[in-house]
Amino acid sequence: MNESQVSVPLQVRLRFGHAAVQRVAASAGIDLLHIKGAAVDPELRPEGYLGSDVDVLVRPDHVDAIDAALREQGWELYSTFQHGSPFGHAQTYLHPAWGYVDIHRRFPGIRLRPDQAFELLWSGRHAFDIAGVACQVPSRPAQAVILVLNAARSAKGARADVITVWERADPDRRAEIDGLVERLHAEVAFAAAAGGLDRFRTDREYRLWKVVSEGGSRSAEWWARIRSAPTTWAGVRIALRAPLVNVDHLAHRLGRKPTPFDIAVEFVRRPLVAVFEGIRSAWRRVGPRRVVR
């Protein structure tokens, strides 16, 4: 988006973005929870960091409805569930005034069925004023869980949240968070950020969260995604998608709609990059050998 078109500071625009999305949802009878950024309780993020976009978790049955309602109100689809992230959890929209919003149909790391997970989080919701609009947000323990799970995907970039909401939490608050993590079946991802991931070495998602939380090559990430699939067929589907070009990301990188030639070039480039990453990773593990005279 052209920043010259924005007439208000980012932090103000983000608050209005939350309010705008809430108005759209309320008018269409859509259930959603505001998460991260301006929706975080000040007790959990005292420095007041608001992020760079608006994030909401939508009741899974209402995803199609929010898609239609946002488009009707001038939001344009920016990236899809399929191409938005390795987890396929969010779809991004862009508004000329309010900026970006990520519509989450589930939250990465939570393995409880999405509809059940949403209902659990929805049951503990409360209203939180953002830009003069009452927005529904999860309970404080649930917000803490979401912040830690988000930190697990940030390659140590959100360490401050883990320290504030988990490491500095008193025993009672930790017990609440632990209990919710267990109910959401989010133990592996939570451990990737909070510590203790090696306790889950035999879990099918262990490799994925290790790569995501500690960093790694794209090829390593794809192999981890395949291994983490809940069924053989799901793993096959992921493997079949691996060589395909992410047209959304390519368009954003080029700053325009990719041509067939652009897509063909990217299709050839991706496996070459994967081979190079594999060689570089192997070289780092083995290291240069000493020459014995």
Look up the pTM and report it.
Answer: 0.79
Q: Give residue 88's pLDDT.
A: 81
The answer to whether 152 and 213 have CB atoms below 8 angstroms apart is yes
Cα torsion at 244, 250, 251, 256 (round to 10°)? -120
Q: Specify the range with the lowest mean pLDDT, choosing from 65-74, 76-85, 111-120.
A: 76-85
pLDDT digits (tens, 9 = 90+) for 129-181: 999 999 999 999 999 999 999 999 875 547 889 999 999 999 999 999 999 99
Closest CA to 22 of 80, 81, 101: 101
The token duo for 286 is 């083995």
Q: Rounded to whole angstroms, how far apart are CA atoms 153 and 44?
A: 19
The token duo for 254 is 């080029």
Position 258 confidence tier, pLDDT thresholds 50, 70, 90 = low
Highest mean pLDDT of the ranges 33-47, 105-119, 266-280: 105-119
Percent of the chain's residues with pLDDT above 90 = 56
pLDDT at residue 4 is higher than 50? no
Cα torsion at 63, 128, 93, 97 (round to 10°)? 140
pLDDT digits (tens, 9 = 90+) for 179-237: 999 999 999 999 999 999 999 999 999 999 998 888 776 767 767 777 777 776 665 66
pLDDT digits (tens, 9 = 90+) for 242-255: 555 565 665 556 66
Q: Rounded to whole angstroms, how far apart are CA atoms 66 and 53?
A: 17
pLDDT at residue 84 is higher than 50? yes
Q: Give residue 201's pLDDT.
A: 94
Total Cβ atoms within 10 A of residue 138: 26
Question: In a 10 Å sphere around its CB, with 0-12 CB exposed, 13-18 middle and 19+ buried, how is residue 75 labelled?
Answer: buried
The answer to whether 184 and 110 have CB atoms below 8 angstroms apart is yes
pLDDT digits (tens, 9 = 90+) for 63-80: 999 999 999 999 999 888
Q: Rounded to whole angstroms, how far apart are CA atoms 19 and 29?
A: 15
- Is the domain spanning 1-138 CATH 3.30.1370.60? The answer is no
DSSP for 102-146?
Answer: EEESS-TT--S-HHHHHHHHHHT-EEEEETTEEEEE--HHHHHHH
Region for residue 37 given its phi and psi (left: phi exceeds 0; alpha: psi -120 to 50; beta: otherwise): left
Cα torsion at 86, 38, 113, 59 (round to 10°)? -110
Closest CA to 149 of 171, 130, 165, 126: 165
Q: Give residue 134's pLDDT.
A: 97
